[in-house]
Chains A and B, each alone.
Chain A
Amino acid sequence: MNDNPFIVQSDLTVLVDVAAPRYAEARDALARFAELVKSPEHIHTFRVSPLSIWNACAAGMSAAEITGALTEYSRFPVPANVTSQVNDFAQRFGRVRIERDAHNGDRLLVHTSDALLAEELAHGKQLAPLLSNRIAPTTFSIRHLDRGRIKQALIKAGFPAEDVAGYTTGESLDVALRTQTRTAHDFALRDYQVQAVHAFHALGSARGGSGVIVLPCGAGKTVVGMGVISAVRESTLILTTSVSAVRQWISELLDKTDIAEEMIGEYSASIKDVRPITVATYQILTHRARKDAEFTHLALFDERNWGLIIYDEVHLLPAPVFQVTATLQARRRLGLTATLVREDGREDDVFALIGPKKADVPWKVLERQGWIATAVCTEVRVPLAEPLRMHYAVAEARNKFRIASENPDKTQVVRDIIARHAGEPALIIGMYVDQLEILAEEMMAPLITGTTPQLRRDALYEKFRAGTVPALVVSKVANFAIDLPDASLAIQISGTFGSRQEEAQRLGRILRPKPGANQAHFYSVVTGDTVEQDFALKRQLFLCEQGYEYQIADAHEFS
């Protein structure tokens, strides 16, 4: 046994000992061909999959380099099945290429050097109708429109295509990043952001121009998107998850690029403005009058000659957008996400239709470099007061969570936490407006909910930033309100059961870099020995697996 960091398991997972001497170099090697699954304190787990191998191959890695890295950093002999599977996955990549037809601009060529494989593809159930025009034993002629569908079908058949057919040129757009933002702050892309932009753009060659950039929350995915826009310099369609996000994109574009305001359009339920840079929501694109009606807004993809399409939070890309994306393979496509893992398991469609992973920076690296704050998560358990215990005991199951969440004794704990972190701006986040109203009143802190007018919000945010309001009580709007001011202390008094996504969003509120110790605190106040604690355990696991330090304390420890 040596002190190498990897333990390669036969189920294709790789455990990485972060305390091992060669951890950093080993992790960098591994991240090229495996996906990080979880990263708790001591041992991180990566998974090798066909997609992760194909991503690596697309980035120029060979099977020998992959197995070599596994062997090099492994503490024990690498299981034979892992080596053989990696070789098998890798040898499948690039056996099929999609190229331009030099003699016919209306057609593309699907080419394989292997006659037997060509035969197999020609007889595949999904592929046969798309590959009916065989012009040579190993070459098929296809329509441009089928490029995406063929790539999808090929990846399902286990032979991902290497697409070097290139892109059409979109409308030209004169845009550049500012060196000083409109709000008069110095601005430049960080090193990892520059590298991500270069990896995607590949100097404008056919090898680049489509793919996914993976960055953790708070690492500046929007900024990377803008960097790509300024590199491509063609009209751009940006698709994102909500109206708030649309406005945040627009705000950021105006703040950090030199593009004029009239060049940017919002395409949402309320505004349908198509400009050289248009920001739209997935919801509006997939809206239809009836269940069996057409998706009328998908026409947006053809409204202009887009040179670049950005898919924000690509792991949430809805199915109809996949369909239309399949027909847009001649456009440059950028996916931005914090994770490649999709709940619906359609990672292969992301690979086929958006493109392979182009950059992936672990959040721990960013934390160490000071780009995001170090967060300590603490769960504070508050007992349920005697009079409420019977009420809780006899309540129906669906009401128990609310009774526990609204435990009135949480108020004192919140006071104690704020007292412990005196002088730090605090966000108190909850789910139930009734509870928040009472808390806001008792704490004499302003409350912001979904019904709070934007003007009042802006005023409160300004006071919060200025420090005249030390604490803000916010409802679920905090999950998505991108304009929410920065804080170093977040206290969660109730949440949506065990929602991991909500937990990540709320934690993300305090991850921006902080002056001084760059330290943020995230408290979850839960009622002990209740169903709320059970749900909190799921969130605890999630945060631990993300690598955050997690503590558990009793309420009396704060009094």
Chain B
Amino acid sequence: MKLFDVNWLSVLLDLPRWWALPLGARRALLNELKPSGYVQAHHFAPHLDAIVSSGIANYDHERDRLWLGDARRGLVKVLRAMSRHPLFDHPTQLTLTAYMGDHFTNEDFLQLGSDGSMGRFPRPDKHSLGKRVAFAGWTGDLLEAQGDNALLKWATARGLRTDPSQVDVSVVILRELQVLARQLLAYPRGATLREIVTDPLNKNIAALADAIYAGLGTMVLFAAMRGDDLEPMIGLWPTVVRDLTTPSAARPVKAHVVEQFTLAVDVEDMTTVLSAVAASPVRVRANDFAVFARTCAEIETRLVALPPWSADIYPGERVDTAAGHLRVRGFVRLRDLDGNPHLFPTPAGTQWLTLSPHDRLAAILEPLRKSKEVNPRNAYDASDTIGFFPYRLPYFEAPKSLRLRDNLTHLLLDVAQEFIPVNEFMEYAARSENPFLALPPNEIVRYSGGYSGMDGDPREFYRETWRSMLFQFLQVRLAGLGGASIGLSDRGDVCFALTDIGRYLLGTASSFEYGSNDAADIVVQPNFDVVFMGAAPSIEAEIARFAERVGRAPGHAFRLTRASVLQAAEAGVAVADVIGALTRASSKPIPKNVQREIAGWMSAVRRATVRKTELLEVADEESAARIVALLGDKVRQITPTVFELPPMKTSARNTMVKKLRAGGVFLADVTARREPKPTRGGQAPFDESEWDG
């Protein structure tokens, strides 16, 4: 420690001199008084008398000048150092590292970070150590230390020498420091030294001075000047106080929701995107395989509208996310079309599309449910199989004693059977039901390494890891698959509650219902408008397959148009599917004219095949007759002078050419079939295997 390496007892005893000064005099002293040499008295006007009478500076009457005597050198050094870092006015990571740079050396950093918690990268600098210091655990360890041995162990871990031969700190001082730190928990933005010194608890000024010195040296305490009144302050780091004084997270209680929403959004989005792909291959960008903006916008209009308050639960870019899910599950593949990558449906995808909404969801849930995964895979696992967890553990492998799937299942079944606020659940899980924190210490270490973990308190890292894992599970596995209902509470909190789908996924229910039990009904009007009389997301998703979205439910959400119905027909939807879906959802009979038109539109659907062929053309009918004579039924005459050549191997083609030559018919172009020209700036066309491996 550089600037605070002074006799703190002397500083504390001299402080009343400073307190006696008015603000202007304090400012003049800090700005004008030099550590050595003289300063003309007029620089301190009009506070000269106050300064002189405080005794902090000495006055030379003859030459009308002031200088700093040795007796007060320590005080002034401390005050000047404090004034350089208004830490408690601006407690940021930036001000903290600046403070550390001013007061500590690299050797100090090494000593302070030598407790082994830095894993395999034991070279802390002020930035990494600064993050760690700002976490609650840095000071929390001192506060939690029980008994002298624990205190000494703590001190050793902070690089303090505690052996009797070379002692930096005694257990007495450590006890005093512990008391002072506890006392400072009541001051989130630091306490003035006046408050501390005059507190009856700190009657032993010498012990207090030692404790302050030890605390500053271990960065448990920070000293700074308050900008407004230049009052010397001391305190714990503000975020540490906040974390240590926050009561432990309480078990979340049932919330009263005013709106709720349940839908297997991911499955419905996958259905919509796959329907679009089945209707016509969807081109994607070659660099990131994202669907082009225009197509994406077209498909987005058919997606179920999500409640605006649920934006944190359902991430954006739904079309690309759904396309990603489809690719991972092998329902679409990337293939070349006209030199550009396109999404094509696979037979598995086409088959999946024909299933009922319930079965489509079941097909997605089943592999997850049956997965043997008990812990998330680690970040370096390159396999792309779909597991129970959508999360990767940041660093290293899970120890054998860890069974996060069991922890997660138990936690959800325990607290999320009814609507609870998401934030409260995460906080409760991270702080009170955190399986990482329950690991034996030797196993904790296996998780504490890595670039991210190195910078912080491992406990914060574990809290964040568990919180992230749970949140991703809620987003991707529960909310995305209908496993949780999402709600908005009367207090404005986003909440969730497990559904039967969620319990099925967690393995505690043997079946689930989906797609048929939405309470709200729709009205199909004779003018082809589809009006939702309430919110019914799964019906909305179903109808989006063959209707054009014009608004949001409840309200006028869709219009049945010829184009939308034909698009559905192209994707394999039948008349009965459309009428059936409308009838099931509607409280009123489907108008006959609507039924009639839909049937008419769909009956007009015809399928045709495009194929490439080779034609053989001659100049006149007489030549054509000779071709017929030579090749017989091996060619098909399309017009009087044009023949279609059937697909044939090169050898057969050569035989045919020879035969024609022998008959006096010479072909103008008998070269071998041309390879398709590359169309991507000379690159080879896209190959399926190239993309999907």
A interface residues (Cβ-Cβ under 8 A, vs B): 1, 7, 9, 11, 13, 15, 17, 19, 38, 40-43, 45, 75-76, 379, 529, 537, 540-541, 544-545, 549-552
Distance in angstroms between the alpha carbons of A388 and B534 in the assembled complex: 50
Given known contacts A43-B523, A544-B525, is B593 in contact with A552 (CB within 8 Å)?
A: yes
Closest to B592 in A: A551
A552, B596: Cβ atoms under 8 Å?
Answer: yes
Closest to B596 in A: A552
User: B554 within 8 Å of A by Cβ?
Assistant: yes
**Chain B, 519-537, CB within 8 A of any chain A CB:** 520, 523, 525-529, 531, 533-534
Q: Which residues of A contact B593 (CB under 8 A)?
A: 379, 540, 544, 550-552
User: B555 within 8 Å of A by Cβ?
Assistant: yes
Interface residue tally of chain B, by bracket?
Answer: 20 to 34
Contact string against A for B residues 490-531, beta-carbon threshold 8 Å, 1 for contact and 0 otherwise: 000000000000000000000000000000100101111101
A41, B533: Cβ atoms under 8 Å?
Answer: no
A76, B529: Cβ atoms under 8 Å?
Answer: no
Task: Name the 9 nearest CB pairs between A and B, nearest first.
Answer: A544-B527, A544-B526, A40-B525, A552-B596, A40-B527, A9-B555, A42-B523, A43-B531, A545-B527
Contact string against A for B residues 586-601, beta-carbon threshold 8 Å, 1 for contact and 0 otherwise: 0010011100110000
B551, A40: Cβ atoms under 8 Å?
Answer: no
Distance in angstroms between the alpha carbons of A75 and B520 in the assembled complex: 12
User: B556 within 8 Å of A by Cβ?
Assistant: yes
Interchain nearest-CB distance for A43 vs B (Å): 5
Closest to B556 in A: A15
B551, A42: Cβ atoms under 8 Å?
Answer: no
Cβ-Cβ contact count across A and B, 8 Å cutoff: 64
Choose one: B527, B554, B555, B604; the contact of A541 (CB below 8 Å). B527
A41, B555: Cβ atoms under 8 Å?
Answer: no
Distance in angstroms between the alpha carbons of A17 and B529 in the assembled complex: 13
Interchain nearest-CB distance for A536 vs B (Å): 10
Give 23 pairs: A residue, B residue, CB < 8 Å, sorted on A.
A7-B554, A7-B555, A15-B555, A15-B556, A19-B588, A41-B525, A41-B526, A41-B591, A42-B525, A42-B531, A43-B556, A76-B554, A379-B593, A537-B562, A537-B597, A540-B593, A544-B525, A544-B527, A544-B528, A550-B591, A552-B593, A552-B596, A552-B597
Closest to B523 in A: A42
Interchain nearest-CB distance for A44 vs B (Å): 10
Given known contacts A1-B534, A17-B533, is B554 in contact with A38 (CB within 8 Å)?
A: no
- Identify which of B527, B555, B592 gathers the most chain A CB atoms within 10 Å of its CB: B527
Distance in angstroms between the alpha carbons of A529 and B588 in the assembled complex: 29
B526, A550: Cβ atoms under 8 Å?
Answer: yes
Interchain nearest-CB distance for A212 vs B (Å): 26
Distance in angstroms between the alpha carbons of A38 and B552 in the assembled complex: 18
Distance in angstroms between the alpha carbons of A537 and B559 in the assembled complex: 14
**Besides A15-B556, A41-B591, A42-B531, 6 other A-B contacts (C-beta < 8 A):** A7-B531, A75-B554, A76-B554, A544-B593, A551-B593, A552-B593
Distance in angstroms between the alpha carbons of A445 and B501 in the assembled complex: 70
A7, B527: Cβ atoms under 8 Å?
Answer: no
Distance in angstroms between the alpha carbons of A549 and B528 in the assembled complex: 13
Q: Which residues of B contact A42 (CB under 8 A)?
A: 523, 525, 531, 588
Distance in angstroms between the alpha carbons of A537 and B552 in the assembled complex: 25
Closest to B562 in A: A537
A38, B527: Cβ atoms under 8 Å?
Answer: yes
Interchain nearest-CB distance for A455 vs B (Å): 43
Contact string against A for B residues 544-562, beta-carbon threshold 8 Å, 1 for contact and 0 otherwise: 0000000110111000001
Q: Which residues of A contact B592 (CB under 8 A)?
A: 551-552
Q: Which residues of A contact B597 (CB under 8 A)?
A: 537, 552
Q: Which residues of B contact A540 (CB under 8 A)?
A: 593
Interchain nearest-CB distance for B260 vs A (Å): 12
Q: Which residues of B contact A11 (CB under 8 A)?
A: 551
A9, B523: Cβ atoms under 8 Å?
Answer: no
Distance in angstroms between the alpha carbons of A549 and B592 in the assembled complex: 10
Distance in angstroms between the alpha carbons of A379 and B596 in the assembled complex: 11
Given known contacts A529-B604, A552-B592, A552-B597, is B529 in contact with A43 (CB within 8 Å)?
A: yes
Interchain nearest-CB distance for B602 vs A (Å): 13
Q: Which residues of B contact A541 (CB under 8 A)?
A: 527-528
A13, B523: Cβ atoms under 8 Å?
Answer: no
Chief secondary structure at chain B's binding surface: loop
Closest to A19 in B: B588
Q: Which residues of B contact A15 (CB under 8 A)?
A: 531, 555-556
A7, B533: Cβ atoms under 8 Å?
Answer: yes
Q: Which residues of A contact B529 (CB under 8 A)?
A: 40, 43
Distance in angstroms between the alpha carbons of A550 and B529 in the assembled complex: 15
Closest to A42 in B: B523
Distance in angstroms between the alpha carbons of A70 and B15 in the assembled complex: 70
B533, A45: Cβ atoms under 8 Å?
Answer: no
Interchain nearest-CB distance for B575 vs A (Å): 15
Interchain nearest-CB distance for A545 vs B (Å): 5
Q: Which residues of B contact A9 (CB under 8 A)?
A: 551-552, 555-556
Interchain nearest-CB distance for B392 vs A (Å): 41
Closest to B524 in A: A42
Closest to A528 in B: B600
Closest to A43 in B: B531
Closest to B601 in A: A537
Q: Which residues of B contact A38 (CB under 8 A)?
A: 527
Distance in angstroms between the alpha carbons of A440 and B18 in the assembled complex: 117
Q: Which residues of A contact B526 (CB under 8 A)?
A: 40-41, 544, 549-550
Interchain nearest-CB distance for B408 vs A (Å): 35
Interchain nearest-CB distance for A292 vs B (Å): 45
Q: Which residues of B contact A19 (CB under 8 A)?
A: 588
Closest to B588 in A: A42
Interchain nearest-CB distance for A310 vs B (Å): 33
Distance in angstroms between the alpha carbons of A549 and B594 in the assembled complex: 12
Closest to B525 in A: A40
Distance in angstroms between the alpha carbons of A125 and B597 in the assembled complex: 52
Interchain nearest-CB distance for A270 vs B (Å): 43
Interchain nearest-CB distance for A11 vs B (Å): 7
Distance in angstroms between the alpha carbons of A379 and B593 in the assembled complex: 9
Q: Which residues of A contact B525 (CB under 8 A)?
A: 40-43, 544
Q: Which residues of B contact A17 (CB under 8 A)?
A: 523, 533
Distance in angstroms between the alpha carbons of A487 and B531 in the assembled complex: 36
Q: Which residues of A contact B596 (CB under 8 A)?
A: 552
Distance in angstroms between the alpha carbons of A7 and B591 in the assembled complex: 21
Interchain nearest-CB distance for A363 vs B (Å): 16
Choose one: B523, B533, B551; the contact of A75 (CB below 8 Å). B533
Q: Which residues of B contact A1 (CB under 8 A)?
A: 520, 534
Q: Which residues of A contact B528 (CB under 8 A)?
A: 541, 544
Q: Which residues of B contact A45 (CB under 8 A)?
A: 556
Closest to A9 in B: B555
Distance in angstroms between the alpha carbons of A540 and B597 in the assembled complex: 11
Q: Which residues of A contact B534 (CB under 8 A)?
A: 1
Interchain nearest-CB distance for A244 vs B (Å): 31
Closest to A553 in B: B596
Interchain nearest-CB distance for A213 vs B (Å): 27
Q: Which residues of B contact A379 (CB under 8 A)?
A: 593
Q: Which residues of B contact A551 (CB under 8 A)?
A: 592-593
Distance in angstroms between the alpha carbons of A43 and B554 in the assembled complex: 13
Q: Which residues of B contact A43 (CB under 8 A)?
A: 523, 525, 529, 531, 556
Q: Which residues of A contact B562 (CB under 8 A)?
A: 537
Distance in angstroms between the alpha carbons of A541 and B597 in the assembled complex: 12
A13, B527: Cβ atoms under 8 Å?
Answer: no
Distance in angstroms between the alpha carbons of A40 and B528 in the assembled complex: 10
Contact string against A for B residues 465-483, beta-carbon threshold 8 Å, 1 for contact and 0 otherwise: 0000000000000000000
Distance in angstroms between the alpha carbons of A15 and B592 in the assembled complex: 22
Contact string against A for B residues 561-593, beta-carbon threshold 8 Å, 1 for contact and 0 otherwise: 010000000000000000000000000100111
Distance in angstroms between the alpha carbons of A160 and B376 in the assembled complex: 66
Q: Which residues of B contact A545 (CB under 8 A)?
A: 527
Q: Which residues of A contact B531 (CB under 8 A)?
A: 7, 15, 42-43
Distance in angstroms between the alpha carbons of A545 and B525 in the assembled complex: 9
Q: Which residues of A contact B533 (CB under 8 A)?
A: 7, 17, 75
Q: Which residues of B contact A544 (CB under 8 A)?
A: 525-528, 591, 593
